[in-house]
Amino acid sequence: MTTWLILFIPLISAVLITFVTRRQKDLSSYISIGAVVFCFILSIDPILNLLKHPHMEPIQQSFSWINIPGLHVEMGTLLDPLSILMLFVVTFVGSLIHIYSRGYMHGDPGFSRFFACLSLFIFSMFGIVLSNNFIQIFIFWELVGLSSYLLIGYYFEKPSASDASKKAFLVNRIGDFGFILGIFVLFQATGTFNFIEINHILEKGGIPDSTLYLAALLIFCGAVGKSAQFPLHVWLPDAMEGPTPVSALIHAATMVAAGVYLLARTALLYHLSPDAMEVVAYIGGFTALLAAVIAVAQNDIKRVVAYSTLSSLGYMVMAMGVGGMTAGMFYLTTHAFFKALLFLAAGSVIHAFHTQNIWEMGSAFKKVKTTGATFILGSLAMAGVFPFSGFWSKDEILTATFTSHHYFLFAIGILVAFISAFFMTRLVFVTFFGNERYHGHPHESPPVMTVPLIILAVFAVLSGFAGLPWFEPNFGTYIAGPSHGGHGEHGFNFFVAGLSTVVVLAGIALGYIIYCRELTKDPLEGNVLYKLAHNKFYFDEFYDNFIVAKIYNGIATICNFAEVNIIIHLFVNGFAYLTRESGKILRLTTTGKLQHYTLIMVAGVVALFLLFGAL
């Protein structure tokens, strides 16, 4: 019952705001905030329950939605450690971001619309987290895409924002197409959509490896789209056109993590298909590296954070790919805290400086002390400095990579850790220290914005201790429950931890050397690699000029031809012609003469008697 309540309260809030309280802006925001906070309070009970019983059995509540022979679709909720963890992350981070939005969006004309969309998003996200079958998760998967579209395009009067929202939606569609095909393949093989039933069938075995491989890869397509993995990563940086709280909530903490969550949900499937896991791991690793390199050469504070998100997502997917389900989910949790923190702090900075370009800020720390301090804490967590949360979670991923003998990926991971530390240092120094390059009089944000920052900062610093490898029960004990095929914990490896610490410190040192001085522009400008990275390795141009220009326009030409000739000429005009001509013929029968009609009537009576009469 509680789960259903959690699921539907945000929807009620969205509907209420849209139809009733649209004009009362304050009331709208209170409804939305109240809804998500209430959900957070409701979700405390399952969390406490989980903490009491680490190996809880999954609780399912479902009713039959479509039931015809050969197809049974349910609507239901599933509470297991995985979904409870996600529920906690979404409600907790969501609550803070809702509260923060009240300050950040203050005075915006679409205030109520913003909160309605946020509520809709929270509803859809709960749907993904709580669903117990593939059809339902797909429906909410699309709903999340829709609310993301609405929120990216929140400033729809700005062409770049509406373009970005369209791009996000369309790119996601590509991944989702693979996802639904994967669902069908899996349904074909197992005959059910229910996660738990599928897991039982998979455990029994008997499904050909090729089918599993295909299903795993296709479902991974969905994760690639939603979690913005290479080659569908192009939408996420553009999605930063949306308001900053949206970037924090949707494009950092929750929605983009849905892809990782999906991989964790279907962990058993990947466990049974090692080839697919390799693909997942390498795509994740490549994305992490690519995004980290691009992040070095960006000048927009939100974009840097966005690319760091991409990189982190790649990290998580890589963890999933090497079998570190627990590590991936742990990183997802800590990442949600410190990345939401980074975005919100970045939003607070933008709020203060009215620009997003870091070269127009500088020495900001003096003006926005709280924001600056929380941002630096978030950066340290992101960079993975001991003992911040990022250190523990990243360490688990690296350990998982190392112990599963993926040495190449391990090297990539170390490299990414180095680059991440470097660009986070760059961001911090360029934005908050150095010489003053801003104009006007920036001021600190109101408490409604800074208090969530402080709370998030506390979690960003401390949440790593939930996964300390030396204590039982720790994070992994709960998540790697009996119902999952993940490998569980990987212990602590002093070589890995030491290496990553050294590398991170090296990255920070390099960043300090290059950027901690009086600067007006990036000293690395002019470098070929910098240019490449600054232009995001020309992925957008490649997609625009090749995919869009050639393939897309080719399809458009064919569609146009088909539309003009088949639909318009054959169907539309053809039917009009047919109607007109048959009308001309039938017109002859309406002579307007009474006796003709009577004659036809009597003839009809005779005909009916001949056909059906008792003759």
Q: By the criterion CB under 8 A, which residues form the site for another protein?
A: 590-596, 598-599, 602-603, 605-606, 609-610, 613-615
Q: Which spans in 272-353 are helix H?
A: 274-296, 301-321, 325-353
Which CB atom, from 528 or from 610, has the smaller least distance to another protein? 610
For residue 264, give Cα distances in angstroms to 90, 260, 472. 16, 6, 22
Q: Residue 613 CB, nearest distance to another protein (Å)?
A: 6
Which CB atom, from 439 or from 596, has the smaller least distance to another protein? 596
Q: Residue 579 CB, nearest distance to another protein (Å)?
A: 20
Which bin fits 206, alpha (ψ -120 to 50), beta or left (φ > 0)? left
Q: Residue 585 CB, nearest distance to another protein (Å)?
A: 16
Q: Residue 582 CB, nearest distance to another protein (Å)?
A: 18
Which CB atom, from 521 or from 587, has the smaller least distance to another protein? 587
Q: Residue 583 CB, nearest distance to another protein (Å)?
A: 14
Q: Residue 12 CB, nearest distance to another protein (Å)?
A: 55
Q: Residue 590 CB, nearest distance to another protein (Å)?
A: 6
170's CB contacts (< 8 A; 6+ apart) are none
Q: At what angle do helices 325-353 and 389-403 cross, to 10 degrees?
A: 140
Which CB atom, from 68 or from 611, has the smaller least distance to another protein? 611
320, 450 contact by CB (below 8 A)? no
381, 334 contact by CB (below 8 A)? yes
Which CB atom, from 159 or from 613, has the smaller least distance to another protein? 613
Which CB atom, from 67 or from 590, has the smaller least distance to another protein? 590
State how far the Cα of 312 lies from the Cα of 333, in Å rounded to an integer: 12
Question: For residue 244, which of 151, 172, 160 has the smallest C-alpha distance?
Answer: 151
Give me the residue label for tokens 């009620």: 12
In angstroms, how far is CA 182 from the centroid of its own chain? 19
Question: For residue 296, which of 304, 286, 284 has the smallest C-alpha distance?
Answer: 304
Question: For residue 292, which of 277, 305, 279 has the smallest C-alpha distance?
Answer: 305
**Backbone phi, then psi, for 89, in 5-degree steps?**
-60, -50
Which CB atom, from 68 or from 610, has the smaller least distance to another protein? 610
DSSP code for 207: S
Which CB atom, from 580 or from 587, has the smaller least distance to another protein? 587
Q: Residue 581 CB, nearest distance to another protein (Å)?
A: 20
Task: Give the CA radius of gyration of the chain.
Answer: 28
